Chain A
Amino acid sequence: MGREFLKGEGNRDIAVRYRGTCMRIAIADDDKEIVEFLGKIVEGQGHIFVGFADGNALSNALLRDTFDLVILDWNMPGKTGLQILEWMETAVDDRPPVMMITSRTAKQDISEALNAGADDYITKPEDPGVIAARINAILRRGGGTSAMETEAQYGEYILDRIEQKVRHKDTEVSLTAKEFELTDLMFRNRDRTLSRRYIMETVWRTNAHLATRTLDMHVSRVRSKLSLTPENGFRIFTVFGYGYRLETLKKGA
């Protein structure tokens, strides 16, 4: 099911169009410095942004205006980020993706926001490069490279989808079928937070309750077999209570 799903959704044309197109992004944060900081990152990616300082202003704008992405702070005057998120679910047709960027670091807050429908969650402070990658990942939506391609390269990693093998720095890494599918899924969705449930359904094709350790162990094996470390430009990040994210790092940064 996972592959079929990606076949339909993952569309290279869209990705290309996104990459080349200027996006309108709403940034809501009561801290002027943060709005400017984020705005600079967004502009660096070739997009334009509109800043909001409180929740009410943002929700009014969302009714009148169209945005390709909303970057939300949690604690804001007027409406809080979470309230806006919940409101958007019902009030805004075809709501744009939402990224929460807040100072709240508690595990419960993160999973609450993600489960309420946020597409990603970043805790302040975060490296501008990481934020940019994560914004791109959301805009990419469904994977930048089509699943139909037989071979794909991500950094120094080359995925052979026919042989189900990964080459890294000219050495071939042997993976089991499930490990390869997991790798493929994470690379295609790099910089996006994937829920455990989504991974389970896509890779194991089941929504039945699988032993939670199964996924943990597979992620762990992929991590160590492929040496997904910052030195190699990647790190796997566990979002406890929610899922996983494969982050790309600027190599040597």
Chain B
Amino acid sequence: MKLRRRLGIEWAGVALVASLIVASLIYWNSLSSFDNLLYDQISEYDRPEAPDDILIIAVDEDSLAAFGKWPWSRTRHAELLTLLADAEPKAIAFDILLSEPGDSEEDLALAAAAAKNDNLLLPLHFVFPGTNGADFDIKEPIAPLKQAASAIGHVNLLFDRDGVVRRTSLCFRGTADRTASVETIWPHLMEQVYRSVNEGSSPAFTRRDNCEQPLLMPYANRGAFSRISYVAVANGEIPAAFLQDKIILVGATAQGLGDQHPVPLGDGGTMAGVEIMANLLSDIMADRFVTPVSTSTQIMLSLIPTWILLIGFWRWRPRTTIFVSLGLVVAILMASAILLSLQIWFAPGAALVGLALVYPVWGWRRLQATSDFMDDELKNYRSDTPDIPVLEVPLGPVDLVTEQAEELAHAIKHVRDLRRFISDALTNLPDPMFITDLDGKVKFVNKLAQTGVEDGAQDLALDDMLKRFVAPDDLDDVKDYLALDQKLREHDYVDFTSLNDEVFAMRRARVLSDEGELRGHIHYLADITEVANAAQEREEVLQLLSHDMRSPQAAILALLDSQDATDENKRIEGHARRTLALADNFVGLARIKSSEFSGEEILLSDLVIEANDSLWPLAKQRKIKSTVEDQTDGAFIIGEPSSLYRSFANLIDNAIKYSPDDSSITILLRPIALDKQPFVSVTITDEGNGIAEDMLGQLFERFASNDLDSKGAVKGAGLGLNFVAAVMERHGGSIRAENMRGSGARFTVLLPLAPEPAEPV
């Protein structure tokens, strides 16, 4: 249980930390380089085709060789534009910056040539930071050209942190100078090309609230776009029909011209700016930009594999977990690739980091917790191993975990030895014994209890087990005993006769776990055949004694009844009655010593009154007035009526004996509290001579008799008071005797009151 909680806390900690790390990696975009690499790799598998109608006219090494070093005279461009105008292409995007005014004649010639083309698009670009504190400067084409162009678009590229051009914005937003309050939107040159060919903005542009949002642009393979050399066109080597209806991008490709940028083609190489434009244009036309998922979605998706693993940790074995983690890595990459083909980019980096993080950290924490737990448990085990003869094996020095494992193995062996020892001890127990679990199935039987269940008692239901050796008459008693709660049982054992006529006492004890939980019951059987037989015999003897001693006395008294009441007859009657009392007290005393207390609820005042009433004839003869005064309000006690009745009769009889004629005896019942427990006290006070001082101490001992003091007429049976004392003790009460100051003796009996009943009287 302790380990469970500890592991729970560790797990929650690992889960929280891993989730936070994954989330913050995404939030602060810390893994962009890694994700970009993955993007480059994944996009490798699905490159778009380059459309046929895009044609690049490249200022390549051949052209430089033919026309000399860059920049060329603007008349050369004018000638090209004139030539192109005749070929009637769909559009021309002139990706060569012409923002500084040059020779004005050449500029005008270029503008004139440009004007011949009805669909010429020219670039502008922004310089960051701008002059005079502006955010940026706008470099537009020179004024005459700007007028000749049908539209102008910006050509700035977006560079990722690693300098690679993966993304682009379809427009640029900004305030042209610090005074302007309205934002201006400059569409990208390629967007302008699209617009000039088609009616209206591209779908990718219109779909977005913010056209500036960077979009990942898929690249076609390097060199996929048709490309012809500038010099070839300028020299008229290209037929006009080839150029007709093409979208022509004019730009520098020669290495020396600097318009080369790294692109995510996975080969680490660069690409000419104009080819990047071509790719962008084809992406715009095909509308196949890749949109990254939003940050929150990214966080949620990235956490899924981590949590699958976290939850799996509870259920799976370590081997399963490692396979699942590897599977998850593949799944993340696959998911990323599939999403990419749907034009959605999910960066797998954070998800992978989450997996990589959670697996070893959890492994570490789990091992630590388990190790600590084992350490504790072994310590506990060592500290309370019972002292039984089991061999100890010394352990050599090894590393910590090995040591723990060895100790564990040692502990298990120890437990095995212990179990063996206990099972040997139980099996050879001198009395039958069996153990049941909570379902009442027999789980262990020792050798002696095995008799009668030769076919094996294992897993036998308790009832069936009982039927095999309990005599049918006693079966219900035994079941009643077993069904009762321990606290409610009258006795802590039940005795029964077996099928072989042996008598057993069966006791049930609880089997508790170390934590005090009930696990089952042990049933001990003690063979009490001899004891039971002896008790039976004693009871028979007592019965016989009681009946056979009383009967002749009763006959004597019956005989005397028909005789005249002579003095002699009266004396015979007195002796007969004394013999009767002696027999009653003797048998009563013997029963007390041999039988269990079994009380019932008794109204003590009435019992005392009836005992007093029974002695009325005797008292009347002597003119003694014996009265009961009841100051209780219904003093109920738990008692055995016969012995109590006899006890009070003995006490009152005694009082009458030692009272002078014509005196009175007072019997008083009062409620009192002893140690806050309610008791009832019964005092019997006479007006006789009292008890001899030397007798007071031993009055209640067996065979003590107070008849020394009398004049010979009264003789008490010595057993009387001994019997009374035994009865009071048996009832949880007491008796004491004292002499009154003037004259007379007082006997005080204290008995505990019965608990109040639930229902009112």
Could you list which residues of chain A lie within 8 angstroms of chain B, going by C-beta atoms? 31, 33-34, 36-37, 40, 74-75, 102-107, 124-125, 127-128, 211-214, 216-217, 219-220, 223-224, 229-231, 235-238, 240-241, 253
Contacts and interface: CB of A to CB of B under 8 A. Distances in A.
Contacts of A230: 613, 616-617, 620
Interface string B35-62: 0000000000000000000000000000
A6 to B, nearest CB: 26
13 contacts: A33-B558, A40-B562, A104-B547, A105-B550, A107-B641, A128-B561, A213-B601, A213-B761, A216-B634, A217-B634, A230-B613, A230-B620, A231-B616
B610 A235 contact: yes
B653 interface: no
A105 B546 contact: yes
A125 B558 contact: yes
B553 interface: yes
Contact of A125 (B554, B562, B602): B554
Contacts of B551: 31, 75, 103, 124
Given A40-B562, A103-B554, A213-B636, 18 more contacts: A31-B551, A31-B554, A34-B558, A102-B547, A103-B547, A105-B584, A107-B642, A127-B617, A211-B759, A211-B760, A212-B601, A217-B634, A220-B634, A229-B616, A235-B610, A238-B607, A238-B610, A241-B641
Contacts of B613: 229-230, 235, 237
B641 A240 contact: yes
A75 B547 contact: yes
A240 B761 CA distance: 20
B555 A34 contact: yes
Report which residue of B554, B634, B757 has the largest number of chain A beta carbons within 10 angstroms of its beta carbon. B554
B642 A105 contact: yes
B642 A106 contact: yes
A31 B547 contact: no
A238 B644 CA distance: 13
Contacts, number: 103
Contacts of A214: 761
A124 B551 CA distance: 8
A40 B558 CA distance: 10
B651 interface: no
A88 B139 CA distance: 137
Given A33-B558, A37-B561, A235-B610, A216 B636 contact: yes
- Secondary structure of the B contact surface, majority rule: helix
A37 B642 contact: no
Interface residues of B, number: 40
A244 B601 CA distance: 15
A156 B487 CA distance: 53
A37 to B, nearest CB: 3
A37 B555 CA distance: 9
B264 to A, nearest CB: 95
B617 A253 contact: yes
Contacts of A217: 603, 634, 761
B204 interface: no
Interface string B204-237: 0000000000000000000000000000000000
B253 interface: no
Nearest to B609: A223
Contacts of B616: 229-231, 235
Contacts of B169: none
A220 B553 contact: no
A223 B613 CA distance: 12
Interface in B172-205: none
A211 B554 contact: no
B557 interface: yes
B642 A124 contact: no
B285 interface: no
Interface in B705-761: 757, 759-761
A217 B630 CA distance: 13
A102 B600 CA distance: 25
B546 A237 contact: no
Contact of B606 (A31, A36, A223, A241): A223
B557 A125 contact: yes
Interface in B549-578: 550-551, 553-559, 561-562
Nearest to A231: B616
Contacts of A34: 554-555, 558
Contacts of B630: 224
A214 to B, nearest CB: 6
B580 interface: yes
B605 interface: yes
A125 B546 contact: no
Given A213-B634, A220-B606, A37 B547 contact: no
A100 to B, nearest CB: 13
Contacts of B556: 33
B558 A37 contact: yes
B555 A237 contact: no
Contacts of A238: 606-607, 610, 641
Nearest to B556: A33
